[in-house]
Amino acid sequence: MKRLAVSADGPAAWESWRDAFARVAPDLPTISWFDPAFDPADASYALVWEPPVGEMARMANMRVILSTGAGVNHLVNRPDFPADVPLVRMGGDQTAVLMADYVMWAAIGLLRGARRWARDQEKHLWCNRPILRNSAETRVGVLGFGNLGAAVARRLAATGFIVSAWCRTPREEKQIPLFFGEEGLSDFLPSVDILVNLLPSTPHTRHIIDAELLSRLKPGADFINVGRGDHVVEDDLLAALASGQLDSAVLDVVATEPLSAESPLWDHPRITLTPHMASEASREAQAAYVAHVIRELEEGRAPPLLYRPDRGY
Ligand code: NDP
């Protein structure tokens, strides 16, 4: 039985998921996880984002759990996560293109001082500032060269930025210079003008962006965080902005979401905030990707974006 039970985004989202699956995968049987008549024994697959507390334990007999997010740290760290059930992360072209669009927007905005222009306009200030660098003179360093990091790096390079990336596993890569592991990080950081974080949140990467790492960037570098908020020591980020070691930051993710009303990040003149929406594909695109993964699984193929507990991502 290849039925998919949809829990993602709660009971209110069920009808829009049902309609999306009906449009893109009419042959895939679906049911709401919250349907009073639903019995977990009647489904093989569950689609989740942040299921209610305790609910994941009821997914222990699923063949596979699929996440509507590419980051799954919030699921695998829960006490009710059934560790024996394979977990597949969200992928698909639209997710990668949206992320590349966002980072392009953020990088160009940083280059041209978009936040300063917006603030000047609010104050009716006509203030012409010199442009320090163009894209061809700017090195973007991407932390993470996975599904999204690689898509972002390739798009930035195609647009004319100088790009390098850092990841864990040594390998050949023709287009983007790659740096690996701790030693590679020391070579990677000092030439970076704009640092982009696209790492997964794992015990090894949590709080990786701290005062020490920031001090190794070029003085006056910029920072774009599209990974997870817990990668960053927020006090260290604010201190680096205050000292001028960092010029500006664009943050799509923060340690506590939604950001508390009292956070100093809201009003910082050199921080641009967006509400964790860098790369949220449409319902149809997500449903099409999920249906594709289920087809692959039913035909005995392993999906590429399988969470690996040994690596933590
Ligand atoms: P992948 O798992 O495909 O890629 C992760 C990359 O990080 C890999 O290149 C991996 O190295 C590298 N990496 C992991 N651990 C380490 C480490 N300890 N040291 C060095 N490199 C490391 O993930 P995705 O590209 O799909 O997604 C990345 C993250 O983006 C997600 O985990 C999530 O946090 C975030 N995200 C944010 C969204 C938003 O809207 N803001 C939306 C979607 C995702 P290697 O290649 O060697 O395995």
Return the pLDDT at 263: 98
Q: Which long-range contacts (CB under 8 A, 24 or more apart) does 79-84 make?
A: 80/53, 80/54, 80/55, 80/56, 81/56, 82/56, 82/57, 83/309, 84/60
Separation of CA 122 and ligand 1 centre (Å): 37
Active site residue 228: yes
Task: For residue 203, give both structure tokens.
Answer: 């015990």
Name which of 304, 158, 152 is nearest 166 in CA terms: 152
* Active-site residue (options: 89, 154, 155, 228): 228
* Active-site residue (options: 89, 115, 276, 283): 276
- CATH architecture entry for 96-273: 3-Layer(aba) Sandwich (3.40)
pTM comes to: 0.97
Would you say the CB of residue 144 lies under 6 angstroms from ligand 1?
A: yes
Would you say the CB of residue 75 lies under 6 angstroms from ligand 1?
A: no
Would you say the CB of residue 167 lies under 6 angstroms from ligand 1?
A: yes
Return the pLDDT at 151: 98
What is the tens place of the pLDDT at every residue in 48-103? 999 999 999 999 999 999 999 999 999 999 999 999 999 999 999 999 999 999 99
Would you say the CB of residue 208 lies under 6 angstroms from ligand 1?
A: no
Would you say the CB of residue 147 lies under 6 angstroms from ligand 1?
A: yes
Active site residue 276: yes
What is the tens place of the pLDDT at every residue in 98-131? 999 999 999 999 999 999 999 999 999 999 989 9
Contact 41, 3 (CB under 8 A): no
Blockwise average pLDDT, block size 10, the chain, 313 residues: 93 98 97 97 97 97 97 96 97 96 98 97 95 96 98 98 98 98 97 98 98 98 98 98 98 98 98 97 97 96 95 95
Q: Where in the chain is the domain with CATH 3.40.50.720?
A: 4-92+281-298, 96-273
Domain 4-92+281-298 falls in which CATH fold?
Rossmann fold (3.40.50)
